[in-house]
Amino acid sequence: MHEFGIVSDMVTQLLRQFEGRKIRQIHALRFRRGSTFSPEALEQAYRVSTAGTILEGAKLIIETVDHQFECKCGYRQVISCDELLGHFFICPQCSATAEIDEAHDLELLEVTGVEEGLPPPRPG
């Protein structure tokens, strides 16, 4: 599962950024995922990767952006993770194959939390 590695690496990098800081609590993380990046894989990988860390239990907010496929034959389609064969999409019009790299389909947009010594965020 390629998605697991992507999420796990992202969590590891984020935890490194928190080292040396006194984080009281992480409330939420906001991600943007491409339509080819499985939302189930994202949530499962996040739960496994954050177990026992300051990120465990934080709310996941996931935005989705359509992955537009355009074939050389002129065929166009928004593709989802369910339409991939491994990491490949096969054009239903001409049978050309295109490799889809999910590594670029996941972006961490925002982390909401409280650091010791700072007031909690105001609802807003």
User: In the chain, count of helices (H) and strands (E)?
Assistant: 2, 7
Contact (Cβ atoms closer than 8 angstroms) between residue 106 and residue 7 = yes
Q: Is residue 122 part of a domain?
A: no
Beta bridge partner(s), residue 70 = 76
Q: Is residue 45 part of a domain?
A: yes
What is the count of structural domains for the chain?
1
Q: Which domain holds residue 43?
A: 2-115
Contact (Cβ atoms closer than 8 angstroms) between residue 8 and residue 49 = yes
pLDDT tens series, the chain, 124 aa: 578 888 999 999 999 988 888 887 899 999 999 888 888 989 999 999 999 999 999 999 999 999 899 999 999 999 998 998 888 999 999 999 999 876 568 899 999 987 765 555 555 5
Quote the tokens at residue 108.
């961490």
Q: Is residue 121 part of a domain?
A: no
Q: Is residue 34 part of a domain?
A: yes
Residue 119 confidence (pLDDT) = 54
Q: Is residue 68 part of a domain?
A: yes
In the three-class reduction of DSSP (H, G, I as helix; E, B as strand; rest coil), residue 33 is classed as strand
Q: Is residue 111 part of a domain?
A: yes
Q: Is residue 54 part of a domain?
A: yes
Q: Provide the 8-state DSSP code for 52.
A: T
DSSP H or E run through 2: helix 2-18
Quote the tokens at residue 82.
């369910």
Residue 116 confidence (pLDDT) = 66
Residue 123 confidence (pLDDT) = 53
Separation of alpha carbons 117 and 112, rounded Å: 15
Q: What is the CATH number of the domain that holds 50?
A: 3.30.2320.50
